[in-house]
Amino acid sequence: MAAPDVDTPALDTTAHAERTPELTQPYRELGLADDEYVRIREILGRRPTDAELAMYSVMWSEHCSYKSSKRHLAYFGETTTPEMKAKMLAGIGENAGVVDIGDGWAVTFKVESHNHPSYVEPYQGAATGVGGIVRDILAMGARPLAVADPLRFGPAEAPDTRRVLPGVVAGVAGYGNCLGLPNVGGEVVFDESYAGNPLVNALCVGAMRTEDLHLAHASGTGNKIILFGARTGLDGIGGVSVLASETFSGDESGGGRKKLPSVQVGDPFAEKVLIECCLELFDKRLVVGIQDLGGAGLSCATSELAAAGDGGMRVDLDRVPLRAEGMTPAEILSSESQERMCAVVRPSDVDDFMAVCRKWDVLATEIGEVTDGDTLVVRWNGETVVDVPPRTVAHQGPVYDRPFARPKEQDTIEADTPDRLARPSTPDELRETVLRMVASPELASREWVTQQYDRYVRGNTVLAQPSDSGVVRVDENTGRGVAVATDCNSRFVRLDPYEGTRLALAEAYRNVATSGAMPVAVTNCLNFGSPHDPGVMWQFERAVHGLADGCAELGVPVTGGNVSFYNQTGEQAILPTPVVGVLGVLDDVRRRIPTGIGAEAGESLLLLGETRDEFGGSAWARVAHGHLGGTPPTPDLARERLLAEILVAASRDGLVSAAHDLSDGGLAQAAVEMALIGQCGARVVLDPDADPFVQLFSESAGRALVAVPRSEELRFTEMCSARGLPWRKTGVVDPGAGALHIQDVGDFGLDELRAAWEGTLPALFES
Amino acid sequence: MSPRIGVITFPGTLDDVDACRAVTYSGAEAVSLWHGDADLRGVDAVIVPGGFSYGDYLRCGAIARFAPVMGSVVEAAGRGMPVLGICNGFQILCEAGLLPGALVRNEKLHFVCRDQWLRVENTTSAWSTRYEPGAEILVPLKSGEGGYVADEATLDELEGEGRVVFRYVDGNPNGSRRDIAGIRSADGRVLGLMPHPEHAIDALTGPSDDGLGVFYSALDALADAPAPVG
Amino acid sequence: MARVVVDVMPKPEILDPQGQAVAGALGRLGFQGVGGVRQGKHFELEVDDDVDDDTLARIAEGFLANPVIEEWTVRRVER
Amino acid sequence: MARVVVDVMPKPEILDPQGQAVAGALGRLGFQGVGGVRQGKHFELEVDDDVDDDTLARIAEGFLANPVIEEWTVRRVER
Ligand SMILES: Nc1ncnc2c1ncn2[C@@H]1O[C@H](COP(=O)(O)OP(=O)(O)O)[C@@H](O)[C@H]1O
Ligand SMILES: [Mg+2]
């Protein structure tokens, strides 16, 4: 406990810090390690002030500094060839990666996690997660086009999931719908490991003209720093509130501030107005640089802007408009109040800038300027409370080489293959298995979730739920557009983090291609347990390598991503969950491939790719036996690439009328979904020489089921054969039938299937 | 000269771009109107589009109805100018007293986005003449507070006077009284509905192009009886 | 400055799905003895002392509540 | 049966965008003299007489309010 300091003035200025080098500081409460604190003192040549300590502590946190992951993430850079980079206008290190999609258009996309807040306050946690990722995209100078939300929860039937899931979904809906951004995709996954630690990841994609790319930097001495958007309050300052307490002992009875919750409340309306305001500012070319305020608030925005610029920066913190009384400089710097942005503006443009803000009723305040020094100076009523080299805050945080090792239990899991599990074999057993799978929470329709999301707003959504990827039109004149999909089967990753991550990449890539888009870029959100656990670090290291190597094989670059560690309940880490997002391009969205069959008069069903006896980590092993063991299916990325090229070529030439990739649940699930989405019957004919169970439920990668108009069948199959893609005619579409008939298994009435598929989530979550 | 149809933007309006697109598709000229400006810029008809005006805080449409532009809209409607309120626009028109009743939270309490079948019950309003009576159309519905309520006497009056223009078929998505999806004013010039015809103008981006009829109807109405200039 | 509380409730004849959902959930959570629940809005306004009851009524009736579906009460709170 | 009122309000340090929107609109509508506005929820519960204060507190704290961001008051109302 600190001794009361007789020399404590109201304000801890740099001068005061010089005078009181021995003052005890609560750096540990702020999450800094002993050696990190020592390093800060070395950098500054004195002890940090309260405000500096607040800044370093948030910016050197795992979340902002990537201190445990940096070493490994470097591998993405090492494996990205110049050829893969050709279309990248901005990559890792920027707010979000940017790719050139042709016709003068650039597209940017990114996923972020908001896991922990969403457990504490599901609605607000998820809402502010959406808000944050949208500001990231906006900070690139892009108009946000669409969002997607990969979500993971505890067991579907668990009482706490009934609290968390509806709240998270309502939060994503409440914020995203109010912003006017169509929600075009995502995931809903259930697993015990997420029970105390749901994963709420949010993706946003935006577009801009290539010449309008705004990178976050503060350059040009004399340029003004303008903070605009919401007022700054005590949101999310959590740990930093210890600085405001009279003693650092955490005694809440003292005169200081109570420890505040780190939950923020979002105001989607304020963000919508902020978006329109920013777009008008970009349009009028009134910003030199811009940065969103997310985690770490002003600490992050000012240090990153200054670090990336060519000069220094001075900020007068007392000018920041506040929402709470008596906030200290440290609190203002660390506040995570939402819906704020920070811009660098030429002095001659300040009046015009302010006029645009007034038009949108957005509060804007000049809080400082770019200086010709190389330090970031923050003042409070004229006194200096921060004087630091900005790069030491923003980019030169600690980097750790955490120990990692393959855990021994990995052998046990691998040895426990699904071969020992009883398999259905009679037609009745197979029929019962199909229905049970379709109705399981794992595979049931997500409509109860997705119908809460506006997928139509702005009128450019061409495909959304439940199709394999979301497709949005970017250019109304040419029809150019993009497709996005996110995927991760974390059960595969658990069995083999390297191959499992390649499978996640393969699935997202395939989902994009199945919609007719050529995949061009990859983003990720790496959700893992504690980096202090060598087993978790091993999963992480393997996952990064799997993703990077996979991207190199596919020839698509990783343009950005996000790492979320410490996802665990007690000692129990979540299943390793590297969510992979893939972006694809369509030169004309009119040639997108939908999922539902029955659009053309006569269609054949063709199964593309090869089916092997692969059940490790499959949906069947889980649903039928609660089993997770063995090894996951083997990915073949060269095959995935070929499949994608064929699907894109077929979409160009109008050879396929519907397509669906095969993933969770295998062929049976894909056939059921294509029939239900198209509201059209079909007959599926299995290969008499192969095991029907394997054909129906295996999750071998690299496969898709396509519907081909009879008139195009020959052309299409010749193309597949010529290019070496295995295919097999697996049935015909039968609009008159009103049922899905699977030969040697039985008939499934569409109504029966629909009731099974659509009934599950409402029964679980309707209040 | 093609008619000019104004589309209002409030802070928080979302579907103004879509309404403008629908107006353009139908062959009219779309004119953007700003909430803070009472000037209707000489338009022949006005659309109050969907979205979350002022965040829908307090109550949907409650704050927007006091915007300067709404004063002019109420006045123009009094002179017979065709006015269409879609979703949030419908809520605003009810709050402003141009249409009776109110819209309340969906029965199941969550936002619903789905392709919705509607039956056209009345084809005499300025925004529905292009439909066959009894026609069924497929249009997106996307709202959290879309339940139409009014007292029994008002509901009876609306039914009796043929002022229920659109009704939900194939399931009531939000608990609206008597499955009401859209109603018109007594003179037929003002129409409010929760579903979004402006999102059903092209099968590429919507479930159908059934919504175009709403906009073509307005062109007919303006050709037959141009709104008096004020 | 005085504190004024305005409570706005759905009219009795208007369906209150939110209140019903709360009542249903309380039952499932094992709380016995709770019959009906109705849910409305609660506003706390800081007003100058010279704002009279008439003005407050106009704020409540004309703005905070929609009289088609809601009823309201206003009360000044001692501090 | 007794009537119990539970008011749930955003904590003072938590952003209240709804209250802010109402306050802003009141100003534009020309109502002078209204400073801050905060908006919360108002619940009216019909409860059996044997439901004790402790149970009511658990209902309010554990269900009607989220104590991370909201605070609540319970009072029994005479009828
Ligand atoms: N949380 C969500 N938000 C939006 N869309 C979702 C969400 N969860 C699932 N979806 C959509 O539902 C459909 C089915 O999801 P999923 O089975 O995970 O697809 P796939 O197996 O093709 O990856 C997809 O269109 C997906 O984008
Ligand atoms: Mg898929």
ipTM confidence: 0.93
Q: Are A61 and A76 spatial neighbours (Cβ–Cβ below 8 Å)? A: no
List chain B pLDDT tens, one digit each, 230 residues.
Answer: 799 999 999 999 999 999 999 999 999 999 999 999 999 999 999 999 999 999 999 999 999 999 999 999 999 999 999 999 999 999 999 999 999 999 999 999 999 999 999 999 999 999 999 999 999 999 999 999 999 999 999 999 999 999 999 999 999 999 999 999 999 999 999 999 999 999 999 999 999 999 999 999 999 999 987 655 54
CA distance D25 to chain B (A): 7
Q: Do B111 and A360 touch (CB under 8 A)?
A: no
Catalytic center residues of B? 87, 196, 198
CA distance C21 to chain A (A): 6
Mean pLDDT for the stretch of residues A502-514:
98
pLDDT given at position A237: 76
Is A673's C-beta closer than 6 angstroms to any atom of ligand 1?
no
**What single DSSP character describes residue B123?**
-
Give C-chain residues touching A767 at CB under 8 angstroms: 21, 24-25
pLDDT at A235 over 60: yes
Report the distance separating Cα A338 and Cα A454, nearest Å: 22
Q: Are A244 and A221 spatial neighbours (Cβ–Cβ below 8 Å)? A: no
Q: Choose among B58, B100, B107: nearest Cβ to C17.
A: B107
pLDDT at A665 over 60: yes
Mutate to test the pocket of ligand 1, among A188, A454, A664, A699 (most ligand atoms within 8 A of CB): A188
Give A-chain residues touching B17 at CB under 8 angstroms: 458-459
Q: Choose among C9, C32, C42: nearest Cβ to D9.
A: C42
Report the distance separating Cα A755 and Cα A170, nearest Å: 24
Higher pLDDT: A496 or A255? It is A496
Report the distance separating Cα A39 and Cα C63, nearest Å: 58
Collapsing DSSP states into helix, strand and coil, what is residue A88?
strand
Q: Are A245 and A256 spatial neighbours (Cβ–Cβ below 8 Å)? A: yes
Q: Do D42 and C39 touch (CB under 8 A)?
A: yes
* pTM for this model (two decimals): 0.94
pLDDT given at position D56: 94
pLDDT given at position A255: 45
Give A-chain residues touching B11 at CB under 8 angstroms: 269, 272-273, 360-361
Q: Does any CB of chain D come closer than 8 Å to the CB of residue B66?
A: yes
CA distance A447 to chain C (A): 21
Q: Is B58 left (phi over 0), alpha (psi -120 to 50) or beta?
A: left
Interface test with D, best of A234, A338, A340, A361 (most D CBs within 10 A): A234
Q: Does any CB of chain B come closer than 8 Å to the CB of residue A361?
A: yes
Report the distance separating Cα A26 and Cα A3, nearest Å: 12
Q: Does any CB of chain B come closer than 8 Å to the CB of residue A538?
A: no
Which residue do the tokens 């969002």 mark? Answer: A147
Task: Give nearest CA residue, ligand 1 atom 22.
Answer: A468
Interface test with B, best of D15, D18, D34, D38 (most B CBs within 10 A): D18
pLDDT given at position A680: 97
Task: Give nearest CA residue, ligand 1 atom 24.
Answer: A466
Touching subunits of B (3+ CB pairs, under 8 Å) are: A, C, D
| pLDDT 10s digits, C33-76 | 888 999 999 999 999 998 999 999 999 999 999 999 999 999 99
Question: Which DSSP helix (H) or strand (E) runs through A319?
Answer: none
Report the distance separating Cα A624 and Cα A744, nearest Å: 21
Q: Choose among D17, D68, D69: nearest Cβ to A267.
A: D17
Report the distance separating Cα A748 and Cα A623, nearest Å: 20
Is A445's C-beta closer than 6 angstroms to any atom of ligand 1?
no
Sheet architecture: strand order including B180-184: B29-34, B4-9, B45-48, B83-86, B190-193, B180-184, B164-168, B112-120, B136-143
Mean pLDDT for the stretch of residues A613-622:
98
- Tell how many helices (H) and how many strands (E) occur in chain A: 26, 28
Is A186's C-beta closer than 6 angstroms to any atom of ligand 1?
yes
Mutate to test the pocket of ligand 1, among A133, A168, A183, A187 (most ligand atoms within 8 A of CB): A187
Catalytic center residues of A? 63, 114
Q: Do B52 and A273 touch (CB under 8 A)?
A: no
Q: Do D17 and A270 touch (CB under 8 A)?
A: yes
Locate C59 and state its tokens.
């704020």
Report the distance separating Cα A667 and Cα A665, nearest Å: 7
Residue A718's identity, in one-letter code, is E
pLDDT given at position A3: 43
| pLDDT 10s digits, A680-696 | 999 999 999 999 999 99
What is the maximal distance between C-alpha atoms in chain A?
90
CA distance C63 to chain B (A): 7
Q: Identify the bridge partners of residue A384 per DSSP, sorted by sequence position.
A: A379
How many angstroms is it from A438 CA to the middle of ligand 2? 15
Collapsing DSSP states into helix, strand and coil, what is residue B223?
helix
Report the distance separating Cα D64 and Cα D56, nearest Å: 10
Q: Choose among D13, D21, D66: nearest Cβ to A233.
A: D13
Q: Do C42 and D8 touch (CB under 8 A)?
A: yes
Q: Choose among C1, C29, C59: nearest Cβ to D63.
A: C29
Is A489's C-beta closer than 6 angstroms to any atom of ligand 1?
no
* Cα within 13 Å of Cα(A322), Cβ side: 16
Mean pLDDT for the stretch of residues A470-480:
97
Strands A376-380 and A312-316: parallel
Report the distance separating Cα A207 and Cα B9, nearest Å: 22
pLDDT at C78 over 90: no
pLDDT at A148 over 60: yes
Q: Which residue in A675, A665, A697 sits closest to A752, CA to CA?
A: A675
Q: Which residue in A463, A582, A476 sits closest to A184, CA to CA?
A: A463
**DSSP per residue, A201-259:** EEEEEEEEEGGG-------STTPEEEEEESPB-STT-GGGGGGGSSSSS--TTSSSPPP
Mean pLDDT for the stretch of residues A24-40:
94
Which residue do the tokens 């589009």 mark? Answer: B49
Collapsing DSSP states into helix, strand and coil, what is residue A297?
helix
Give the pLDDT band (50/70/90) at residue D79. Answer: low
The H-assigned helical ranges of A284-349 are 297-308, 329-334
**Ligand (nearest to CA of A149):** 1
Q: Which residue in A106, A73, A139, A78 sits closest to A209, CA to CA?
A: A106
pLDDT at A525 over 50: yes
Report the distance separating Cα A105 and Cα A718, nearest Å: 35
Q: Are A495 and A631 spatial neighbours (Cβ–Cβ below 8 Å)? A: yes
Q: Which residue in B177, B156, B46, B32 sits closest to B107, CA to CA?
A: B177
Collapsing DSSP states into helix, strand and coil, what is residue D53?
helix
| pLDDT 10s digits, A668-683 | 999 999 999 999 999 9
Strands B136-143 and A183-190: unpaired
Q: Are B94 and B70 spatial neighbours (Cβ–Cβ below 8 Å)? A: no
pLDDT given at position C79: 63
Q: Choose among C14, C18, C21: nearest Cβ to B149.
A: C14
pLDDT given at position A311: 82
pLDDT given at position A260: 57
pLDDT given at position A6: 45
The distance from CA A99 to its chain's CA centroid, rounded to whole angstroms, is 17
Strand ranges for C1-79 from DSSP E: 2-10, 34-47, 70-77
pLDDT given at position B159: 98
Give how far Cα A5 sits from Cα of A10, A18, A24, A49, A257, Å. 12, 14, 9, 14, 18
The H-assigned helical ranges of A292-349 are 297-308, 329-334
Closest chain C CA to residue B106:
C17
The H-assigned helical ranges of chain B are 16-25, 68-78, 88-95, 152-160, 212-224
Touching subunits of C (3+ CB pairs, under 8 Å) are: A, B, D
Collapsing DSSP states into helix, strand and coil, what is residue A594?
coil
Q: Are D23 and D38 spatial neighbours (Cβ–Cβ below 8 Å)? A: no
Q: Are A286 and A347 spatial neighbours (Cβ–Cβ below 8 Å)? A: no
Spell out which residues have Cβ within 5 A of ligand 2, the ion: A 468, 511, 661
Mean pLDDT for the stretch of residues A378-388:
96
The H-assigned helical ranges of A335-425 are 350-359, 390-394, 409-415
Collapsing DSSP states into helix, strand and coil, what is residue A562?
strand
Closest chain A CA to residue B143:
A454
Is A467's C-beta closer than 6 angstroms to any atom of ligand 1?
yes
Closest chain C CA to residue A159:
C29
**DSSP per residue, A646-693:** HHHHHHHTT--SEEEE--TTHHHHHHHHHHHHHT--EEE---TTS-HH
Give D-chain residues touching A337 at CB under 8 angstroms: 15
Collapsing DSSP states into helix, strand and coil, what is residue A314?
strand
Q: How far apart are the first and last CA of chain A?
A: 49
Give B-chain residues touching A270 at CB under 8 angstroms: 55
Chain A residues near any Cβ of chain C (below 8 Å):
767
Report the distance separating Cα A189 and Cα A490, nearest Å: 9
Q: Does any CB of chain A come closer than 8 Å to the CB of residue B21?
A: yes
| pLDDT 10s digits, A256-309 | 455 555 678 899 999 999 999 999 999 999 999 999 998 789 999 999 888 888
Is A183's C-beta closer than 6 angstroms to any atom of ligand 1?
yes
Q: Give the rounded percent of residues in chain A with a pLDDT score beyond 70.
A: 95
